Amino acid sequence: VNPDETQGPVAYVGATAIPGDGRLPFTDSVLLVENGRIIALGDQHTPIPDAAVRVDLTGKFVLPGLTEGHAHVSGFASEAYHPDEPGAFRAAPPLMEDLLSWGVTTVRDTGGPDLESTQGLQRHSEVWPRFFGSGPNLDGSPGGPWKGMWKTEEPSEVGDLVTAEAEGGMDFIKVYAWMTEPVLLEAIRAAHRHGLPIAGHVGYTVTAERAVELGIDALEHIRIGPELIPADRMAEYRALPFRPRDEMAAVTPWRFIDLDSAAVDRVIGKFVRAGTYLTPTLAIHESHLAPASHSPGDKNFHDDSVTGELQHDPEDDVQVARMQFDRIVEFVGRAYASGVRVVAGSDTPSPALPPGASLHRELALLVQAGLTPLQAIEAATYTPAKLLGRSHETGSLRLGNRADLVVLGADPLADITNSSAIETVLLAGRTVRTGAPLNGPA
Ligand SMILES: [Zn+2]
């Protein structure tokens, strides 16, 4: 009997099951699924109903479907980006298909051009990854260059923007780099009045540290930095020439930062006490700063165009960029070890960050930062589910959760790059993909 066609329970038998929520794996497991939900998980002695269809997964590894914790799919579904191409979704379907083929069953979309694109993608959880989005980024003036941002400099106006997003069904609020502190404070208050988490690509007009003091729930990218520069290096930092993308993406503070300094301890301690979620998007930082640090010749992760804009001194680009990246990676490891909640997200899609594949690169970078493979998997399953307020229904192999599952042919705990050895992807217990991922090897 095809497990996709039975109305009764399905028993996946024999795999090593990785629960995703930090618990140790069950070897030789029994995972029971019925009506799209997980109804049992245990060892080989777990009772299997007579009516169950058995699927032998001996030698395989099963884990919760992965969450891409920082993506921008909604922009590709939008008329604002494709004014000459009327029709639904435009470039979004192949992106969602790619994500699914790489085991991504949940997308956290961190900013798009309008509410409608997000709403459209939210409605397609039967065939695509479940979609949780912020809608348009809220920003100050002049604001980020992305289409469709909602901008205000008035603290009294931002509450209405947040309300419009909440009433439009957005799953969280996202603010951007030019928002001033008084506006940010009102945005945080408004988001929390609506019961929504608020995430920030901050660090320009307001430091990440200050945003956490004001109550922001989640930090996107490593835009921490200026608050960590030692006082006696500030003059050097300020003397650096300004480059076009610095408000959004400058990582130059990292050349001055001492990871053993009290400032680093202070900031990490604040994040821990506040319960801040940090989605460091190491993959995009790598694509800017250290594009050749893996898979030499792999153009997938190389983004020359941006790298040039992000560096100050072309003559020491390579050395300084790599040093900055290495320090960022080490900072993430220290933050995690201290108790900061780290989420895996890559900032896909872009030529350097192919959808799906780039999340697996992020997992490898989190392991490079010092997380164990089990902890890295948690950063792509349970932790983002907590951030999205959905851990009671997704992100782990807990009873009652949706059976969004990935079956691997090789052990990701032995080598995190095996996370991409994907054989089967299930959405709510239904097989949506078998075989190798669509857009090639990572
Ligand atoms: Zn982003």
pLDDT in tens, 50-69: 999 999 999 999 999 999 99
> How many A from CA of 354 to the centre of ligand 1?
14
Statement: residue 5 has pLDDT above 50 = yes
pLDDT value of residue 351: 77
Please identify every residue whose CB atom is under 5 Å from ligand 1, which is an ion.
Answer: 110, 347
Phi, psi (degrees; rounded to nearest 5) at 6: -75, 150
pLDDT value of residue 247: 87
> How many A from CA of 1 to the centre of ligand 1?
44
Nearest 5°: CA angle at 379, between 415 and 225?
105
Lowest mean pLDDT: which of 62-76, 82-96, 307-321?
307-321
Instruction: Please report the beta strands in 264-325, taking only residues with DSSP state E, as ranges in sequence order.
Output: 277-279
Top pLDDT among 420 and 83 is at 420
Distance, CA of 172 to CA of 160 (rounded, Å): 15
Q: Report CA-CA distances (Å) from 348 to 74, 360, 383.
A: 11, 11, 19
pLDDT value of residue 81: 53
Q: Phi-psi category of 364—alpha, beta or left, where left has phi over 0 and alpha has psi -120 to 50? A: alpha
Give the highest mean pLDDT range of 70-84, 230-244, 287-301, 361-375: 361-375
pLDDT digits (tens, 9 = 90+) for 110-135: 999 899 989 989 988 778 999 999 99
Distance, CA of 211 to CA of 224 (rounded, Å): 10
> How many A from CA of 255 to the centre of ligand 1?
23
Statement: residue 88 has pLDDT above 50 = no
> How many A from CA of 428 to the centre of ligand 1?
28
> How many A from CA of 239 to the centre of ligand 1?
28
> How many A from CA of 41 to the centre of ligand 1?
36
For 32, the 3-state DSSP assignment is strand
Phi, psi (degrees; rounded to nearest 5) at 304: -55, -40
> How many A from CA of 3 to the centre of ligand 1?
38
> How many A from CA of 114 to the centre of ligand 1?
15
pLDDT value of residue 248: 87
**Percentage of residues in the chain with pLDDT exceeding 90?**
75
User: How many angstroms separate the first and last alpha carbons of the chain?
Assistant: 34
pLDDT value of residue 316: 52
**Percentage of residues in the chain with pLDDT exceeding 70?**
89
> How many A from CA of 348 to the centre of ligand 1?
8
Q: What is the mean pLDDT of residues 296-313?
A: 46
pLDDT band at 301 (very low <50, low <70, confident <90, very high): very low
Q: Report CA-CA distances (Å) from 397 to 7, 38, 52, 291, 381.
A: 21, 7, 19, 35, 10
